[in-house]
Amino acid sequence: MTEHTMSEYFKNIATGATTIATGMGITLKHFFNAVKRKGDAGIDDVDYFGQVDGLVTLQYPREAVPTPSNGRYRLHNDIDDCIGCGQCVRACPVSCIEMETIKVMPEDLAACGKTSGGQQKKFWVPVFDIDTAKCMTCGICTTVCPTECLRHTPVADFSDFDRWNLVYHFGNLTRHEAEAKKRKVEEAQAKAQAEKERKAAEAAAAPAEPGETNP
């Protein structure tokens, strides 16, 4: 065995011993620090990285790390402030929001009410469904919402065994109420159309003035 080979041999041994000692030193440091429970400070807490390593972790799901107040988690719609503009539906990149609206008749404006900002609502919103299984929490819908009724909540864990339980409903009418409102609008539209046709027929039947011709 040459001198160079011997040197390389002992150098590898020293490197291996140093590596083992470094790893064991980190392990022992954690071992002696873990004498009590780890704190529950959230990632937005200034003391998060100052917490010592705990003896045990949080016992999920009975315990959970607090979520940041500005986190984007499960969507919620304050339907009383929703004006049914549909901007959120058009802006959503994954089409996770489904909305149906019904025009409010003039005599029902008071019943439909106003938003918390004082804006008169002109549409009933019988269907406003959010499929949280598809939502990617990008926050675009909350940005374009003119009344700020759509917002992310701190609820981060809402897992369920049934996929359809992840669709949240926020409509402000029952199915029977929505059907009644639709019939009312259809009747008003039919009445307006009939009145328009009656006036057109009367105009066509009226005798033409001298120098004029009926259309």
Specify if 207 maps to a domain. no
Count of domains observed in the chain: 1
Higher pLDDT, 36 or 205: 205
Residue 50 lies in a domain: no
**Lookup: tokens for 57:** 């972790």
HSE-CB for 120 with a 13 A CA cutoff: 9
**Could you say which DSSP state residue 169 is in?**
E
Lowest mean pLDDT among 1-5, 158-162, 196-200: 1-5
Q: Answer whether residue 63 is part of any domain.
A: no
**Domain-embedded: residue 193:** no
Residue 126 within any structural domain of the chain:
yes
Boundaries of domain holding 170:
75-176
Q: pLDDT of 11-54, one tens digit each?
A: 899 999 999 999 999 888 877 776 666 666 666 777 776 666 66
Question: How far is it, in rounded angstroms, from Cα 63 to Cα 58?
Answer: 6
Q: Residue 183, SS3? A: helix
- Tens of pLDDT, residues 47-88: 776 666 666 666 777 777 778 878 889 999 999 999 999 999
Is position 131 within any domain?
A: yes
**CATH code for the domain in which residue 136 is found:** 3.30.70.3270
Q: Can you give the pLDDT at residue 127?
A: 96
Mean pLDDT of 133-142: 95
Please report the pLDDT score of residue 46 as a whole number. 75
More confident residue, 192 or 64: 192
Q: Give the pLDDT of residue 1.
A: 58
158, 132 in Cβ contact below 8 A?
yes
Query: To which residue do tokens 């000692």 refer?
Result: 21
Query: Which pLDDT value is given to residue 6?
Result: 80
Q: What is the pLDDT of residue 10?
A: 86
pTM summary value: 0.67
Query: In this predicted structure, what is the pLDDT of residue 131?
Result: 97
In-domain check, residue 166: yes
pLDDT in tens, 139-177: 999 999 999 999 999 888 888 999 999 999 999 999 999
Phi and psi, residue 201, nearest 5°: -70, -40
Does residue 132 lie within any of the structural domains? yes
